[in-house]
Amino acid sequence: MSSRPPLNALEPGSALATSNTDTRKHIAAPPPQQQRHTPSPRPSRWLGVVLPVLVLLGLELAVQAGWVPAHLLPPPSDIARTLYELAQQGLATHVLVSTARVAVGFAAGAALAVALGVWVGLSRRAEALLDPSFQALRAVPSLAWVPLLLLWLGIDEGAKLALIAIGAFFPVYMGVASGLRDVDRKLVEVAEMAGLGPLAMARRVLLPAALPAVWTGLRNGLSLAWMFMVAAELIAATRGLGYLLTDGRETGRADIVLGAIVLLAVMGKLTDSGMQWLENCWLSWRDTVATRR
């Protein structure tokens, strides 16, 4: 006997015909294309210059129009002229002296902070012993250390470098200790199941996981090192950007004060950009929102 379906079952509109038609459509239909994420174009690096340029132009116009007293807020053109004159009188020496003080003080404070931060981050006993005292000392203002450092170290370079090191210590310590404490517990458990020893655990799991927080602490510590440098050079200095601030205040030269502030901002930005470049090189393996853009 023939197994073919009856002719009326193949007529248009029948259930079997409709089922066969849907099946053919389903087979013939091409698979939907997967939507791919197209990263948005990166903004130009010069975009950050727009706001400072607009602010400088606004100040120049405001002073030239007489809306702001020139002796209180000199126009940017006068500040640029003052910086040019100072450059002829040894401004580079002041910048180099301040930069050297920041480099030495930051290196000393950061090195001690990394060592103690690793100890506190890996040892609960060390955390219970040291962390409460460090958290209390972290709240002490920078100027509160000045009289004590003058009594202990005098007015020489030792007091200035010690104050800068104190300023750099606490942000770096916080970044290292919190970075190690906040490592994902599952990563540590997997490493233990894989049989990693303490050194291999620190090198392959703990340190890479904590590096983003460590670099954040280093960048914050470097910024505070520049701030504490100004406080250190206000003590008793004959060279440096802090000395220019004091000299401008004592002589009533607002242009010198603002010029020194501009130089501090530029040097702080340059050093932070250098730290950011090193961070991107060391942490190029990260798959984050910033690398996705």
pLDDT of residue 185: 84
Q: List, for residues 208-229, the tens digit of each pLDDT value.
A: 888 999 999 999 999 999 999 9
One-letter amino acid identity for 75?
P
Where in the chain are the domains? 75-292
- Rg for the chain, CA atoms, rounded: 32
One-letter amino acid identity for 262?
V
Q: List, for residues 241-265, the tens digit of each pLDDT value.
A: 999 998 998 888 999 999 999 999 9
One-letter amino acid identity for 174?
M
Percent of the chain, pLDDT > 90?
44
Give the span between the Cα atoms of 236 and 231, in whole angstroms.
10
pLDDT of residue 7: 44
- Note the CATH architecture for domain 75-292: Orthogonal Bundle (1.10)
Torsion, CA 179, CA 181, CA 185, CA 189, rounded to 10:
100
Helix (H) or strand (E) holding 24: helix 15-28
Q: Does pLDDT of 174 surpass 90?
A: yes
